[in-house]
Amino acid sequence: FFSRVLVRPALASASLYTAPAHPPPAPMTTETRTAAAGPSRTAPVADPLEQKTLHIFVSRALQKILREAPKKYTELRKACIEVIEELKAVGDGQLPAEADLAAPSPTGPTPSAAQLQQAAAGAEAAAAVEAEEGGAGAEAAAILSPAPSGREPATPSFSSPDHDADPDGTAAAAARMALDDVAPVPGTDRYFVPLRLACESKLPRIMEVSLHCIQKIIAYGYVRGKVAGEKPFVDVVMETICSCKDEEDKEVQLQIVQAVNTAVTSAVTAVHDTTLLLAVKTCFYIYLVSKNGTIQKTANATLTQMLDVVFARLESPGASSMAQKDAFLVFRSLCKLSMKPLPEPLPADDSIELRSKLLSLQLLYSIIASSGERFRGGEKFVWAIRQYLCLSLLKNGVSPIPAILQLSLDIFVTLIKYFKAHLKSEIGVFFSNILLRILESSNSSGPQKRLTIQALRVLVAEPQLMVDLFLNYDCDLEGKGIFTSMCDGLSRLTLTLQALSETTEQDAQLKQLALETLVAIADSMVAWERDVKAEGAGAAVTPVGQRPPSIADSSSVSMVGPEPSPVHRGGGEAAGEAGQSPGGGEAGGEVTAVVASRESVDFEAMFHRKHEVHEGVIKFNMKPKRGIRYLREVCGLEDTPQAVARFLRETDGLDKRAVGDYLGEGEDFCKQVLYAYVDSIDFANLTFDQALRRFLTHFWLPGEAQKIDRMMEKFAERYCSQNEGVFANADTAYVLAYSLIMLNTDAHSSQIKKKMTQQEFVNMNRGINDSGDLPTPFLESLYQAITTNEIKIKEMMEHERRAAAASNDAARTSRSKLFNLESAIMVKESQELFKAKARKRAVYHSSRNVEHARPMFEACWCALLASWSTIMEERYDDAVPVELVALVMRGFANAVHIAAEFGMATERDAFVTMLAKYTYLDSGKTMGGRNIEAFKTILSLALTDGDHLGGAWAQVLKCLSEFQRLHMIGTGAKTDASIFFPAARAGANGAAGLPPPGAPGLVSPPSGRLTARQQSILIQPARVRNSSKDAEVEAVNSATMVDSVDVVAIDRIFSGSAQLNADAIVEFVTHLCAVSREELDAAGDPQVYSLQKIVEVAYYNMSRVRLVWARIWEVLSEFFAEVGQHPNLSIAMYAVDSLRQLATKFLEREELLNYQFQREFLKPFQDLMGAAKSVEVRDLILVCLGHMVQSRARSIRSGWSSLFGVLSLAAADPLSSVAKAGFDLARDTVREHFALIGDHHAEGVSCIAGYLRQRPHVDIALSAAHCLADYAKLLHAAAAADGATGAAAGGAAGGT
């Protein structure tokens, strides 16, 4: 027990002394409340064991003090002797021995822990913090003291969260009475006197012993009750401890930190309110002034532990109002400390000012990151965050010191995660005015940009958070598009050729980090889309923190405001101070969750409407009248002067010159707009030059005198109507306004050498006040105001600031100074926006509707494509890290997936086209690792997103075709050109020497050798390859591709086509046919790769349902009919034989009665027979049909119709060889398969009759006559056997 509790821990580590654990306080029962509220207030009798323990602690400490104290400290020595003598008297002349010490309950037997805790919860602290002086202590004290900021928001009032359960305040009254009833351990106040004197002695060794004793009696709960003057004993003790903070001895400092930590973290010691702040500031002070690293770490850890305890009490069940107030006061104090400005020039890293700011920001981050539901949802704390923390972030978020900026960004990111629903306006302002402007600024440093991008990367890694940012800002008509601006800003960083930082290495790191962030955006979009689809929730909009079980349960979350700020109207700290009371504009609107409606919010429509308005702004800036007309017709702008005037005043992005030109137009409607515009500006109680400045800050004065005249006339009328008695009439204001404009130009124009004097200005304006003079002092004041402060519009000031930045960009010192000026403007504008948005309604949405990914991608795809393309551009070599190339390829794949998934054809085709371009397959350029990765990415997309590639299949299949050509070169295979050009063939005619047309295999899967002939397509239309340089490049590229690409993946693309949906397979086949046409039409270099793949794909998909197959065959039949007429006979015959093999395979499937699939399938033969000019092709068609009849006659049903149609065309052929072959096939078919022809005998008779009419071929006609007679006999015999069967056909034969 003694070694664990009484012996002080070693200083070697920074671990803190921890008081013995106490059991949790029991809840106050009805009996306890009654007893506390009863009339009896007699102090309980002290426990002997408790007194003996206290005596041991005190006696041992005082003996040590007495030995160490010099004799000159008479008062201290006297006090020690008196207490020691008293303790001896109590102990019968002997001081208590350690053996007599038991292990009493640290809280003492009486009162109970519950009474002590509830009494402490209601205690009122009144101690004040005194300012310190001298050395580093004075500097630290100045930092910790509150800044004289004048009026500040009043402190919110705090009530117990269980107020509804205790409406009459009985529990609070009981706690206060319990505190009054609790008496200290008898003699404690007297024993404390020498300990206090020891602390005031300024002798380190004595102070250490005293503080150690004080810490032990606090740990055992002996510091309780009140002392003389009705002041809580704990407050007196804490003041004594904290008064020692100026002592530089490390042992004393460590004891102070341990004692303060014990008091604050104790479950029974009532350290609250101002005393709690004093404890926190003391540890803070020691951290700042101590030079010992161990003490600094201990003080830092102590602060963290104390804050954890304070905010844990806030989150505990039944937390008292005092716990809320403690948390609020500590949080506010840290915010104020973090806002203390740093001196100029910037302090050193070990300066007190910088360390103070860093520590306060660290503690604030810890509080926000570990906060619980009561802190996140409590209106008082949300108000404090808005009022104090947001202001701190504005000031620290532009800091040039990386450590401060890092902590500020960490806090901001955490605020977005946990408080986004409450801080919608503030988040939007910080994003647009701080983060994005740091990225865009040419004056911000490399570390500032890097930290900002890292913060953005953390944010976009949260898919739901990223979607919410888009919905709440980019789809808000009045808000700045944060998501779009973020993507555009990051993209510009990757594309710029200007220096971004101090070194080239930092520039490269920044660009890589920006690329990674953009890829992370695409990753999050894909993850969110898949996540939502996996949930099966197509919900509209859901409340924060919930997910709808079904669409019916989804709803919109309306985070509405404003509400009065939680400011106590009378009393409380700083009551009656700043005018930011509940009704004040600066207090900020509270935001609460309200279910708005069950209907979905059409965010996509809102996004497009915002885009249309943006287009209207661009048109207005170019041609104001045309822009207004566009806004009326497209954006629904009301055709009233008031609506147009409001648009001109409130819309961001308008060119102030264009606004001035439009307002100055002489048309009646423009005049009405001008009048409405001026009437919307408030000039009341402004001096004349102030009113003119306010008027001219909204637009740029046009150059025409007539336009200026109309504007000044209306301005004068408005000013006089709101400020009666200033001038005799409006004419005076009109003339004087003109004079001030002239004076402004004269005084501030560099082209005017001789400036107007003050007397000249006064003389010029004599007699303008209704024939009287204006007061000379009045005119002189106007002269001074204009000449010393030029009238400028905001746009002009921004332009001048950027010009100054550009002219001084070379010097680093001036660059940092310029950013300081720029950041001051950023902070000021942000504060103004905070005030402007404080009273506006804020609606926060959180969506789980997968369709919202569409407008998100629409907003960012151009930026993504432009930035990722930089890695693949020619100015980069293969020294680009492999990891970076892989990262960009992942981005491309994700972008294609999103675009394809949502049917965004333009975006999808753009990404796939760029990927195909970067393969270098047909560019004549040497391929590298980047190009191989691009090709592999295309293969992966074809396998994973084939259902949604649509028109992008064209680029994919072209790449496969071109790869096949290179693969053949690399493997030394015989090229198609050597086969299909007679000069290159080994001398056979006809179809000799051709590879087996069906070599890929129709009945069995394609062989390995043939699947190697796959891949290649041209990025551009066919490029002529005839130079030796092309041959060398292709040889190198082919070797690279053969070694790097697995052809098995290519096989899976075609074999996997059977898994494509109905629309996708039709698209796939259509584009495969188109690529095949391009291959076959290549002059001097034809290929049949895609033709082979068409046969394979038809084979793989032949088992599809009839309706889908009909759509596929509609494309293929047209293709085969076209290719069968190819001028290259070998290609044409190859196509016909491929068609034959497909038909043979198709005829294996049985056709039911009254269906016509076979007829449609065999129709290409009929079309080719009628269109083919080549005898060889026509002969081959007949040979193919003969083979089909011999092998598949029993399977033919409706196909007989097409078969007889082909034979009828052969009958009309002028060549006897073709006619003879056709007749022989017709005759053999009738003789051998008469019973199988079924209902097609009429067509058969008509076919034979066609040969009978062949006058040029008499022998064929005679043979046809005999055949027709035999056919008639067969028909009559069949009719006799089956009754009427074949009667019609027989009659037809007889007639013939």
Largest interatomic CA distance in the chain = 156
Tell me the HSE value of 324 on the side-chain side, using a 13 A CA sphere: 24
DSSP helix/strand/coil, 557: strand
CA dihedral (890, 893, 896, 902) positive or negative: negative
Distance in angstroms (rounded) separating the CA atoms of residues 286 and 289: 5
Place of tokens 């793989």: 1100
Distance in angstroms (rounded) separating the CA atoms of residues 437 and 457: 16
Distance in angstroms (rounded) separating the CA atoms of residues 1055 and 1047: 13
CA distances from 990 to 979, 1175, 1180 (A): 12, 11, 10
The answer to whether 827 and 404 have CB atoms below 8 angstroms apart is no
Bridge partner list, 772: 769
Place of tokens 């040889």: 1035
Number of neighbours of residue 350 by Cβ within 10 angstroms: 8
Q: In what helix (H) or strand (E) does residue 200 lie, and over which residues does it extend?
A: helix 188-200
Distance in angstroms (rounded) separating the CA atoms of residues 353 and 347: 7
The answer to whether 291 and 301 have CB atoms below 8 angstroms apart is no
Strands (E) located in 43-200: none
**Would you list the DSSP string of 559-603?**
EE--------SSSSTTTT-SS-STT-GGG----EEEE--SSPP-H
Instruction: Report how far Cα 158 is from the mean position of its chain's Cα atoms.
Output: 37
CA R_g for the chain: 46
Catalytically annotated residue among 124, 130, 638, 704: 704
Count of H-run helices and E-run strands, the chain: 57, 7
Phi, psi of 29 (to 5 degrees): -90, 175
- Calculate helix-pair angle for 113-121, 321-338, nearest 10 degrees: 50
Distance in angstroms (rounded) separating the CA atoms of residues 286 and 294: 12
Phi, psi of 231 (to 5 degrees): -100, 130
Q: Which two tokens stand for residue 1207?
A: 């034979």
Distance in angstroms (rounded) separating the CA atoms of residues 868 and 683: 52
Instruction: Report how far Cα 44 is from the mean position of its chain's Cα atoms.
Output: 63
Closest CA to 1239 of 1194, 1201, 1295, 1281: 1201
Place of tokens 């001008």: 674
Q: Tell me if residue 130 is catalytic.
A: no
- Spatial neighbors of 214 by CB under 8 A, at least 6 apart, are 192, 195, 199, 237, 240, 241, 259
Task: Give the length of the chain.
Answer: 1296
Closest CA to 70 of 204, 193, 256: 204
CA distances from 736 to 710, 765, 788 (A): 14, 7, 18
**Side chain identity at residue 893, one-letter code:** A
Bridge partner list, 557: 595
The answer to whether 920 and 1037 have CB atoms below 8 angstroms apart is yes
- Spatial neighbors of 734 by CB under 8 A, at least 6 apart, are 712, 713, 715, 716
Instruction: Report how far Cα 806 is from the mean position of its chain's Cα atoms.
Output: 31
- Calculate helix-pair angle for 204-219, 250-265, nearest 10 degrees: 20
H-assigned helices in 845-996: 853-872, 882-901, 905-917, 929-944, 953-971, 977-980
Active site residues: 704
